[in-house]
Amino acid sequence: MPKKTPFFEFHKNLGAKIVDFAGFEMPIQYPDGIVKEHIWVREKAGMFDVSHMGEIEIKGKDALNFVNYITSNDASRLEVMQVQYSAFPTEEGTIVDDLLVYRLDENHFLLVVNAANIEKDYQWILSHKKGDVEIKNRSDDYAEIAFQGPLSEKVLQRITKENLSELPYYYAMYATVLGKKVLLSRTGYTGEDGFELYFEDFEHGKKVFLKLLEFDEVKPIGLGARDTLRLEMGYCLYGNDIDETTNMIEAGLSWILKLDKEDFIGKKALLKIKEEGPARRRVAFITERRAAIPRHGQKIFKDGEEVGHVTSGTMSPSLQQGIGMGYVRRHHTRRGTEIEIDIRGRKEKATIVKLPFYKNGTVKR
């Protein structure tokens, strides 16, 4: 049976279409529909239930060294209460999962992982345990809200004691929200300014959820719009754009790969991939015909030859244009290259472009 988040009854009462997603009953959309929800987040403030995400806690004398050993980025560069995008590499250099690393204290880290990978990630971390560390899967202990959009700070400030304008991008704080302390970070998956709030007190989380819905600038947003928003920014989705068959170099994620670290899982393999160059690379493209909408798994052609496949695609609500990402052989990755996508048996023309597709986001970097 799929799990229910603490906000499940609210979604039902709000008329959401509920689907089974990563083992959870989640809202894919509300009555307004995905396109209107998407535009609302781009213009105002949208609230997402992301309680399905996983949280794995690592603490102890050797916590920093261990986190650095199992992740691709360099956690030693994190200040206390700073956040980092990273990944778990395999020994072959491919990707177990992508994640956020929160440094809550000198020797205390919270790893936020994808919902579909919680148990896999937890077992993988345990299997590589080394040093004086305590590892705990705390995924069932947290409810989480993502509050995103250009008006998110203005609205959230009404129920928050601390000055949110002082919180930099990819930093966190323990903020007093509706009278109780919660872990709050300036992070998100939409390209807009926004926050993610972690509640250990579920009843308090419900109060905050309902309070935010009282404001005219706020609407609940489902996973459908979350996907179109992230795709407009070119953010990877695990299971589509990255997985255990892809590596960070070909995926365009070298910026979260610190090969100068002393030692970490997959380092040897990744050094070799970098030296030889990957056989393929992730690219972004826009279709010529607006109604041509690319989808996951469709084939990509160049001059009649199959050269890759689509990993994510949609009709962009902001651009009113078919957009997509995929992997193509490295000789065909230059921006401006014309390709064709096989969409339901019809070869649709497309052009490789620079990410992000949507360039007017309000993320405060």
| Sequence-separated contacts (24+) of 329-333 with Cβ below 8 Å | 329/279, 329/280, 330/277, 330/278, 330/279, 330/280, 330/281, 332/302, 332/307, 332/308, 333/281, 333/283
On whether the CB atoms of residues 52 and 117 are closer than 8 A, the answer is no
What percent of the chain clears pLDDT 70, i.e. is strictly above it? 100
Structural domains for the chain:
3-51+142-232 (3.30.1360.120), 54-135 (3.30.70.1400), 279-365 (2.40.30.110)
pLDDT tens digits along 114-139 = 999 999 999 999 999 999 999 999 99
Residue 1: predicted pLDDT: 85
Rounded CA-CA distance 164/157 in Å is 7
pLDDT tens digits along 53-97 = 999 999 999 999 999 999 999 999 999 999 999 999 999 999 999
On whether the CB atoms of residues 199 and 208 are closer than 8 A, the answer is yes
Centre a 10 Å sphere on the Cβ of residue 254 and count the other Cβ atoms it contains. Answer: 15
pLDDT tens digits along 180-228 = 999 999 999 999 999 999 999 999 999 999 999 999 999 999 999 999 9
Residue 95: predicted pLDDT: 98
pLDDT tens digits along 239-271 = 999 999 999 999 999 999 999 999 999 999 999
Average pLDDT over residues 139-146: 98
CA–centroid distance for 268 within its chain: 27
Residue 364 in this model has a pLDDT that exceeds 90 = no
Residue 365: predicted pLDDT: 67
pLDDT tens digits along 292-321 = 999 999 999 999 999 999 999 999 999 999
